[in-house]
Copies of this chain bind each other. A is one copy, B any other.
């Protein structure tokens, strides 16, 4: 069986999730093309060598420019900080490598379009890391909609609520700095909701939004790592340059109405990536904190037993379920990455573009920027303006 040799740039939160996917695929999805964990790359030799050993990479390197040129590498997996996505992608595409880039694809729509063009020009496969699509419950929602079982869609309501920076003394990590992260909750969390809306409902025609930075200054961190801020904090404060919360209304091209909210200031919500969809024949509800469940309602149920059903998406009829455990034995966050990576591998095997790919990343970025423009200019913005 053909193998795919992977070179990965980045090894923190997302790098760990991706590594685990490569590591577990041979066991749970043995019939697809198999990944080989060839080399992981990071600037800090100590850190990346430790990660390489722990995660199971054959080797570690510190220069991504070399890595993307290596002949023994088929796929470049990019989960370095967002401000590096573009440069690495362009170089890797040029070198003819398949591309697996974490979201957000880039810090700007312009950059992400350049990346898509480069990937297309190079004729390589390209995937963007919208992992939440790959929760089996989300796949079930998609299936019900695609099969017309919810009828015409009227409403999409999506919100991604977290509370990890609620404390004003939480330090100014890179995710709170616009030049590195691009945006705050909007690009970090909202991007996932936008992608789910694209996946489940379709394209967005116009948006109007608002956003806020509730805590405008925070202590400078000692050192930054992944989601947390290790080490001692400085007494000095710095300006938070991204949004703490962003909300917007949207009209979809198919006439559905949408509302979106992303915030890091929703006390009690650790990772409420949630949506509800209402159609003429039924509704679905999803909450990532109960990621194995989909709530489903059908208008044509018998009159005396109409109600939302709590579906545990672990039955043989559900996506990816047969690779795992018997019904009722749930899976977790990390499995979304495994399924996502399986899609990439299968796409390579079948010589087609994986879904979601860079075009989806661009489309998401387009909405993100349309919302930002709408906030700046305090008006409705057509996505096509951008």
User: Within 8 Å of chain B (Cβ to Cβ): is A71?
Assistant: no
Contact partners of A317 in chain B: CB under 8 A: 303-304
Q: Contacts A26-B56, A329-B333 known; A309 to B312 CB distance under 8 Å? A: no
| Cβ-defined partner of A307 (8 Å) among B257, B311, B335 | B311
Q: What CA separation (Å) do A317 and B282 show in the bound complex?
A: 19
Distance (whole angstroms) from the CB of A47 to the closest CB of chain B:
14
Give Cα A266 to B30, complex, Å. 34
In angstroms, Cα B73 to Cα A367, docked, is 58
> Across the two chains, which residue of chain B brings its CB closest to A54?
B30
Q: Report chain B residues within 8 Å CB of A269.
A: 278, 283, 328
Residues of B within 8 A of A303 (CB): 315-317
Are A267 and B289 in contact (CB-based, < 8 A)? no
- 3 closest A-B pairs by beta carbon, nearest first, are A270-B328, A271-B328, A268-B297
A379 near B: Cβ within 8 Å? yes
Q: Is the CB of B259 within 8 A of A291?
A: no
Interface residues on A, range: 35 or more
Residues of B within 8 A of A289 (CB): 292, 312, 328, 330
Chain A residues proximal to chain B, CB less than 8 Å: 13, 16-17, 19-20, 23-24, 26-27, 30, 53-56, 140, 143-144, 150, 154-155, 157, 159, 161-164, 166, 208-210, 212, 214, 227, 244-245, 247-249, 251, 255, 257, 259, 261, 263, 265-272, 276, 278-283, 288-292, 296-299, 301, 303-312, 314-318, 324-335, 378-380
Tell me if B332 and A329 are in contact (CB < 8 A): yes
Q: Which residues of B contact A161 (CB under 8 A)?
A: 278
Count chain B CB atoms within 10 A of each CB in A144, A249, A276, A306 and give the residue with the most. Answer: A306
A162 to B380, CA, bound (A): 27
A184 to chain B, nearest CB (A): 14
Q: Note all chain B residues with C-beta closer than 8 A to A288.
A: 328
| Contact, CB under 8 Å: B266 / A278 | yes
Q: How far is the CB of A339 from chain B (nearest CB, A)?
A: 13
Q: Which residue of B lies closest to A285 (CB)?
A: B268
Closest to A150 in B: B267
How far, in angstroms, from A304 to B379 measured CA to CA in the complex? 42
Asked if B315 and A311 make an inter-chain contact with CB atoms under 8 angstroms apart, the answer reads no
A227 lies within 8 A of B326 (CB)? yes
The one of B162, B266, B280 that contacts A283, using a Cβ cutoff of 8 Å: B266
CA distance A245 to B12 in the complex (A): 44
A384 to chain B, nearest CB (A): 16
Q: How far is the CA of A161 from the CA of B162 in the complex (A)?
A: 24
Distance A310 CA – B290 CA, assembled complex (angstroms):
12
> Which residues of the partner chain B approach A209 to less than 8 Å between Cβ atoms?
249
Collect the chain B residues with CB atoms within 8 Å of residue A267's CB.
150, 278-283, 297, 299
Shortest CB–CB separation between residue A224 and chain B, in angstroms?
15
In the bound complex, what is the Cα–Cα distance between A27 and B334 (angstroms)?
Answer: 13
* A17–B155 CA distance with the chains assembled, in angstroms: 31
Residues of B within 8 A of A20 (CB): 24, 27
Instruction: Give min CB distance, A256 to chain B, whole Å.
Output: 9
| Given A317-B304, A330-B291, A332-B330, residue A278 in contact with residue B257 (CB < 8 A) | no
B26 lies within 8 A of A155 (CB): no
Alpha-carbon distance between A289 and B313 when the two chains are bound, in angstroms:
11
Q: How far is the CA of A317 from the CA of B80 in the complex (A)?
A: 28
A245's partner among B53, B155, B248, B332 (CB-CB below 8 A) is B155
Check B162 against A328 for contact (C-beta < 8 Å): yes
Instruction: Report whether B268 and A283 are in contact in the complex, using a CB–CB cutoff of 8 Å.
Output: yes
Contact status A27-B54, CB under 8 Å = yes
Is A278 touching B299 in the complex (CB atoms < 8 A)?
A: no
